[in-house]
Amino acid sequence: MTKKARLIYNPVSGHEQMLQNVADILNVLEQAGFEASAFRTTPEPLSAQNEAKRCAIAGFDLLVGAGGDGTINEVVNGVAPLEKRPKLAVIPAGTTNDFARALKIPRDDLVEAAKVILTGKTQKMDIGRAGKQYFMNIAASGSLTELTYGVPSEVKSVLGYSAYLLKGAEMLPKISSNKMRLTYDEGVYEGDLSMFLLGMTNSIGGFERIMPDAQLSDGLFQLIVVKTANPVDVLRLMAMALNGNHVNDPQIIYTKTKNLKVELLGESKDKDPIPVNLDGEIGGHLPIDFENLKQHIEFYIG
């Protein structure tokens, strides 16, 4: 019986480079033994997610998500709730492509990224659940996380990492802390924090030492809590994070956990609901419960 693969691609990711590569990528999928077809996402909300769900229910064997982390997140959300889940592959066509970096997939040539499928090498990966949403790389909340979703995507495309650094410098005076209760496997933290991060991989915004002990399939999140909102401390911690030395700092909690429950104690400083960032996009608001779904989806890896 012929195996079926569906390429789900975002035509505007990165520098719109997918458009001239679709035919070559479909050719690679055919070489890998799949009957291959393509779906071009539209500006409609959840376009990639709805197509991924449709294809999974229709019995496709492989879904290939091509775009930035946001597109891959939608494909994951399309299949994660289902009982029968196809294999997934990633073609990084965004700006930072954290997830592809973690899977060791080539990030400078889309067709080479597709050729990873020809090797047949796969790994069952942990997937995070946040309320009713899913994520494959990172969940975060707190004023410091605006660094991730506060940078417009067109600015990211042009400036890359410097966009984050410029935004960071601009935001330092605005960083605040909120009082929260975090309940995790090893205990409870009640107090002020400016950010918490739940990581599935070691790559966040292109930096690979923030989560120095990431395992992709161990069923555990890495949890980092930043207690301080003091700009001098935050700058010091950001510098330490570049080489992984931040995890032993007294202003940091660093642990592993399968579950995390986050509650806001009192009102947020600016009275607005506090958003939760999932893979770089807003995916709900506090309070929220997180669970690690161990080895939930099988991905092709480099």
Distance CA 126, CA 294 (A): 5
Specify the range with the lowest mean pLDDT, choosing from 32-41, 120-129, 271-280.
Answer: 271-280
pLDDT of residue 195: 87
The three-state secondary structure class of 280 is coil
pLDDT in tens, 247-293: 777 888 989 999 999 999 987 766 788 999 998 888 999 999 999 99
Ordered by start, the domain boundaries in the chain are 3-120, 134-294
pLDDT-based confidence at residue 154 (cuts at 50, 70, 90) = low
pLDDT of residue 96: 73
**Which one is predicted more confidently, 148 or 133?**
133
176, 269 Cβ separation under 8 angstroms: yes
pLDDT tens digits, residue range 204-219? 655 555 666 667 899 9
Give the pLDDT band (50/70/90) at residue 151. low
Per the model's pLDDT, the better-predicted residue between 193 and 205 turns out to be 193
pLDDT(5) > 70: yes
DSSP letter for each residue of 175-234: ---EEEEEEETTEEEEEEESEEEEESSS-BTTBSSSSTT--SSSS-EEEEEE----HHHH
Phi/psi for 41 (5° steps) reads -65, 155
pLDDT of 160 over the 80 cut? no
Q: Which CATH architecture has domain 134-294?
A: Sandwich (2.60)
Q: Would 3-120 and 134-294 be classified into the same CATH topology?
A: no
- Sorting pLDDT into bands at 50, 70 and 90, what band is 39? very high
Q: Which pLDDT value is given to residue 162?
A: 62
Fold of 3-120: Rossmann fold (3.40.50)
237 Cβ contact list (under 8 Å, min separation 6): 226, 228, 246, 249, 251, 252
Catalytic residue status for 208: no
* pLDDT of 200 higher than 80: yes
> Contact, 282 vs 276, CB < 8 A?
yes
Q: Are 165 and 251 in contact (CB under 8 A)?
A: no
Catalytic residue among 112, 208, 281, 298: 281
Alpha carbon distance 8, 63 (integer Å): 7
What is the per-residue pLDDT for 248? 74
More confident residue, 155 or 76: 76
